[in-house]
Amino acid sequence: MPDSLSPLFPPALPNRHGMLAVDELHTIYWEECGNPDGVPVLFLHGGPGAGVSPQHRRFFDPRHYRVILFDQRGAGKSTPLGECRNNTTQLLIEDIERLRAQFGIGKWLVFGGSWGSTLALAYGQAHPQACLGFVLRGIFLCTSAEIDWFINGMRWFYPELYEEFVAPIPPAERGDLLAAYTRRTLSADPAVHLPAVRAWSRFEGRRVYLLPQPEDAPNDALDLGLGRLESHYMSNLGFFAEDQLIRDMGRIAHLPAVIVQGRYDVICPPLSAHRLHQAWPGARLKMVPDAGHGALENGIAAALVAATEQFKRSGRFQ
């Protein structure tokens, strides 16, 4: 059961882990946790570029679930770190299918938050026959409106962070901040890309939680994966047609799902979760009234664990 002071299950170590070469350039890190004979779950991290952490294993009862986690191309322990060549949503979906084949899994529960919810929807729509259901958090549909909000809408809530984010960019380039940052994050020169990815990561990280949190120590590896891959994917609209994930909902609307959304999420605002629920009336939407974007905020973590526990009991969501 979860800890008495936390909605999460106790910390767990992987049963095994390894690296999988997915093409001539990229090798991805994977790990397997929990019960090797349990119900399979695929965990998809956010960002893109954020990578998995030990905390992500704790949303699942390790006696019941067989949890597969991996660092997406260019993220975490996958190599090369921050690499944007051969890095598209469609290629990530192919990587997931390689992992499913490697582990001999027929169907799995798909769990993802933020960008992980985007990738979960895209994967499910490409391979609905491989999915048992979905647990999704902090919905991001990767539309142009959401991307513009992420970059520019923040000034309405965090004007001081926005001013800090804009400051390194010359006035002549501020009309398109995403393009200006993408040019810098993708630069081969560390003197150019490191300040840019640090600024990008700070701009995002300081608005994840509803209430201010102590800032983490600087982490150039995390910043490089996050700053480069987020700007790369956003500048390409996630490699989707506009509103593709809503348009193609008919492919997975028959499958069970729980959507967990923080009411005061300023990174992925609730409108996207609302739109997804409208297109997926069989899904259950849990709006957490006192939370922002963070998966580890108490109310969101509790709702996510409640969803995996309910699926454990019935194989469905009520």
What pLDDT is attached to residue 318? 59
What pLDDT is attached to residue 317? 66
pLDDT band at 214 (very low <50, low <70, confident <90, very high): confident
Q: Give catalytic status of residue 293 as yes or no.
A: yes
Q: Show Cβ contacts of residue 269 under 8 Å, excluding neighbours closer than 6 positions.
A: 146, 149
pLDDT band at 287 (very low <50, low <70, confident <90, very high): very high
**96-103 average pLDDT score:** 98
Q: Give catalytic status of residue 265 as yes or no.
A: yes
Q: Give catalytic status of residue 114 as yes or no.
A: yes
Q: Among residues 78, 114, 231, 272, which one is catalytic?
A: 114
For the chain, give the percent of residues with pLDDT over 90: 94
**116-140 average pLDDT score:** 98
pLDDT band at 44 (very low <50, low <70, confident <90, very high): very high
Q: Among residues 26, 56, 232, 293, which one is catalytic?
A: 293
Predicted structure pTM score: 0.96
pLDDT band at 1 (very low <50, low <70, confident <90, very high): low
For the cut 80, the answer to whether the pLDDT of residue 5 exceeds it is no
Instruction: List Cα–Cα distances, 79 to 30, 222, 223, 276, in angstroms.
Output: 12, 13, 15, 33
pLDDT band at 218 (very low <50, low <70, confident <90, very high): confident
In tens, the pLDDT along 172-181 reads 999 999 999 9
Point out which residues pair with 136 in neighbouring strands.
112, 259
∠ CA 172-165-270, nearest 5°, is: 115
For the cut 90, the answer to whether the pLDDT of residue 2 exceeds it is no
For the cut 90, the answer to whether the pLDDT of residue 213 exceeds it is no
For the cut 60, the answer to whether the pLDDT of residue 51 exceeds it is yes
302, 7 Cβ separation under 8 angstroms: yes
Instruction: List Cα–Cα distances, 274 to 37, 261, 277, 280, 307, in angstroms.
Output: 36, 9, 5, 10, 18
What pLDDT is attached to residue 4? 54
CATH of region 16-141+240-314 = 3.40.50.1820
pLDDT band at 249 (very low <50, low <70, confident <90, very high): very high
**270-288 average pLDDT score:** 97
Q: Show Cβ contacts of residue 287 under 8 Å, excluding neighbours closer than 6 positions.
A: 261, 263, 270, 273
Q: Among residues 61, 71, 265, 277, which one is catalytic?
A: 265
Looking at per-residue confidence, does 214 or 54 come out higher?
54
Going from N- to C-terminal start, the domains of the chain cover 16-141+240-314, 144-238
For the chain, give the percent of residues with pLDDT over 70: 98
**79-96 average pLDDT score:** 98
In tens, the pLDDT along 221-236 reads 999 999 999 999 999 9
What pLDDT is attached to residue 217? 77
